[in-house]
Amino acid sequence: MNDAARFQPSELIEFATALFSAAGMPGERSAVVAELLVEADLMGHDTHGLNLAANYLGQLDKGTMKKTGDPVVVNDRGPCLTLNGEYLNGVWLTAYAIEEAVTRAREFGLGVVAVQQSHHIACLATFLPLATRHGMVIQLLSSDPAETGVTPHGGVEGCFTPNPIAVGYPTDGDPVLIDISASITTLGMSGRLRGAGEPMTGKWAVGPDGKATDDPGVLVADPPGALLPLGGLETGHKGFGLALMVEAMTSGLAGHGRADGPERHGASVFIQVLDPDAFGGRDRFVREASFLAERCRAARVAPGNPAVRLPGDGALARRAKAMRDGVSLYPGIMPALEPFAEGFGIAMPSPLA
């Protein structure tokens, strides 16, 4: 199979849905997971799209990702809901929680859902349109209390995860889709570069000697180093502060985290959805958001430089092109899925001519 070939997105979704269903997940949930993973590839976030599918299938096979069942309500206070995800697939679980938050926001003006013991939730940016399409504002945060890899400012060992932060809101055109993390890069990208024998494109990690480095191998050295928080060696206090906020809003509010000593990979998730009509009004919100968006796009740039883009502009442009021309998958994704397809008797998707 030629991994550089392009594929029809709908065929990839159908293929991934069949794989997850054959692995024991309910069909409707499998379809949600498949669509959101492919959505990440469409947007260009190819470390957090179908690249994760083989790992998820392996987790389902080992039982470390629960195949069936429902999240358990820990606390329900009207606009606020806390769930125990029971280590169900985190992509489906997050989509479910956002739907619940949107419903509560319509009633109360805001809906907040905290989730403990979810499984991995993939690409945060793909979830944001689930709220913005309803004219809502969404904040989505995630951490993994069983994993480390990012050092606090001034340290040389991992204490927390990259702790992504995503915010989406509507304008009179495309929504603004912000997806960043409290670290300079992700553990997934670091692993990909390490496997390819390539350096990072900046000094994004720190070794045990306290020096910044572009070598991703430092993360698995003995003793290991760690990824630097956003801001790097000099101004990493900014990313460190963001990481602490994410930990408090996810594991802290969900009521389960690092202090519990979890040995199982998972995620703590925080979702807040706001209805602008409960504040200054949706029309006013969109007017203000759109004005600033266009002002930024029209900002002067240095001669020869491209125009300013807003967060999400590039991802949505890549998505539109991929929907038109087909999506190209990172090498290694389809070969990793081929043994599962063969074992389940599912045909591999054919590349576009």
The predicted structure's pLDDT at residue 2: 42
298 inside domain:
no
Shared-domain flag, residues 118 and 180: yes
Shared-domain flag, residues 118 and 195: no
Compute the distance between CA of residue 76 and CA of residue 92 in angstroms, rounded to an integer: 20
Structure tokens at 337: 């899925």
161 inside domain:
yes
Structure tokens at 298: 């029209």
pLDDT in tens, 120-163: 999 999 999 999 999 999 999 999 999 999 999 999 999 999 99
Shared-domain flag, residues 155 and 121: yes
User: Can you spell out the DSSP letters for 242-291?
Assistant: HHHHHHIIIIIHHT-SGGG---S--EEEEEEEE-GGGTT-HHHHHHHHHH
Mean pLDDT, 10 residues at a time, the chain of 353 residues: 75 98 98 98 94 97 97 98 98 98 98 98 98 98 96 97 97 97 92 91 95 94 95 97 98 98 94 98 98 98 97 97 95 95 97 89
Shared-domain flag, residues 176 and 192: no
- Residue position matching structure tokens 């013991």: 117
76 inside domain:
yes
37 inside domain:
yes
CATH number at residue 222: 3.30.60
Compute the distance between CA of residue 298 and CA of residue 286 in angstroms, rounded to an integer: 18
Q: In the chain, what is the straight-line distance between the N-terminal and C-terminal CA atoms, in Å?
A: 13
82 inside domain:
yes
Shared-domain flag, residues 155 and 278: yes
1 inside domain:
no
CATH number at residue 10: 3.30.1370.60
Shared-domain flag, residues 215 and 260: no
297 inside domain:
no
205 three-class SS: strand
Specify the number of domains making up the chain.
2
108 three-class SS: helix
189 three-class SS: helix
Compute the distance between CA of residue 89 and CA of residue 95 in angstroms, rounded to an integer: 10
**Cα distances (Å, whole numbers) of residue 210 to 156, 217, 226, 263:** 6, 15, 10, 28
Look up the domain containing 166 and give its range: 6-184+228-283+313-344
303 inside domain:
no
Please tell me the pTM assigned to this model: 0.95
Shared-domain flag, residues 41 and 84: yes
Shared-domain flag, residues 180 and 279: yes
In the beta sheet, which residues pair with residue 338? none
- Strands of the chain (E only): list them: 6-7, 72-76, 80-84, 110-118, 137-143, 164-169, 176-181, 205-206, 212-213, 226-227, 267-274, 327-328
Q: How many other C-beta atoms lie within 10 A of the C-beta of residue 157? A: 15
Shared-domain flag, residues 57 and 119: yes
**∠20-24-26 over CA atoms, to 5°?**
75
Shared-domain flag, residues 209 and 86: no
Compute the distance between CA of residue 214 and CA of residue 201 in angstroms, rounded to an integer: 7
Compute the distance between CA of residue 82 and CA of residue 65 in angstroms, rounded to an integer: 20
The predicted structure's pLDDT at residue 4: 64
Shared-domain flag, residues 242 and 107: yes
Shared-domain flag, residues 34 and 161: yes
The predicted structure's pLDDT at residue 231: 96
Structure tokens at 83: 């769930």
